[in-house]
């Protein structure tokens, strides 16, 4: 009789500790989500948005780890989906930030290549780099702090693309003659 009472007491204590642990896991996940939200309010650069995405994914993983026996399991699964969507949005923001820098990189490549371009093949590569730079800069959203600079660079790069195109046409026509 005494052993049964002791066993029941141990089971009750274990259940209480499990419930406390599960509640703690849920609270930790909520705190991670809160941290991600706070970071997202200050995010500006690509690295910031990547960190925000990582925080949202961390919060989602914590929610997904909530046991099916936990009374908050269903809510945790809903939160995990929400947090994954937030992580996707943050990753998209990180990509937006990258378009400007990538556009500049392609523009610099085209500039360097244009200084030594001599053949139609060389000018074709220069033109492709200018075109890629323009395409990337056109993806910079109008809400980006780099939007005005991107618009200015697009105009500059379109002139350079036209020049590269003219050189390519001239070399191609000369090769045909």
Whether 68 and 143 share a structural domain = no
Whether 58 and 103 share a structural domain = no
Boundary of a domain, candidates 94, 128, 157: 94
Q: How far apart (Å, rounded) are the C-alpha atoms in residues 128 and 67? A: 53
Q: What is the 3-state secondary structure (H, E, C) of 30-82?
A: HHHHHHHHHHHHHCCCHHHHHHHHHHHHHHHHHHHCCCCCCCCHHHHHHHHHH
Whether 24 and 41 share a structural domain = yes
Contact of 17 with 23, CB cutoff 8 Å: no
Contact of 170 with 120, CB cutoff 8 Å: no
Contact of 104 with 136, CB cutoff 8 Å: no
Q: How far apart (Å, rounded) are the C-alpha atoms in residues 22 and 32? A: 15
Domain that holds residue 143: 97-176
pTM: 0.54
Q: How confident is the model at residue 44 (pLDDT cuts 50, 70, 90)?
A: confident
Please check the confidence at residue 16 and state whether its pLDDT lies above 80. Answer: no
**Average of pLDDT values for 58-76?**
90
Q: How far apart (Å, rounded) are the C-alpha atoms in residues 78 and 16? A: 25
């Amino acid at each position: 009789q005494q052993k049964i009472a002791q066993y029941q007491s141990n089971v009750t204590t274990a259940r209480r500790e499990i419930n406390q642990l599960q509640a703690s896991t849920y609270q930790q996940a909520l705190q991670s989500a809160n941290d991600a939200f706070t970071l997202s309010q200050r995010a500006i650069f690509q690295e910031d948005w990547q960190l925000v995405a990582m925080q949202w994914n961390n919060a989602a993983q914590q929610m997904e780890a909530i046991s099916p026996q936990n009374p908050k399991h269903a809510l945790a699964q809903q939160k995990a989906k929400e947090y994954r969507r937030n992580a996707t949005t943050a990753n998209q923001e990180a990509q937006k930030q990258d378009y400007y820098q990538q556009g500049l990189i392609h523009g610099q490549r085209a500039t360097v290549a244009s200084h030594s371009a001599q053949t139609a093949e060389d000018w074709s590569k220069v033109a492709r780099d200018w075109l890629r730079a323009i395409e990337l800069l056109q993806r910079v959203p109008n809400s980006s702090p780099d939007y005005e600079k991107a618009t200015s660079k697009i105009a500059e790069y379109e002139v350079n693309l036209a020049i590269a195109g003219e050189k390519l046409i001239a070399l191609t026509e000369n090769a045909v003659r």
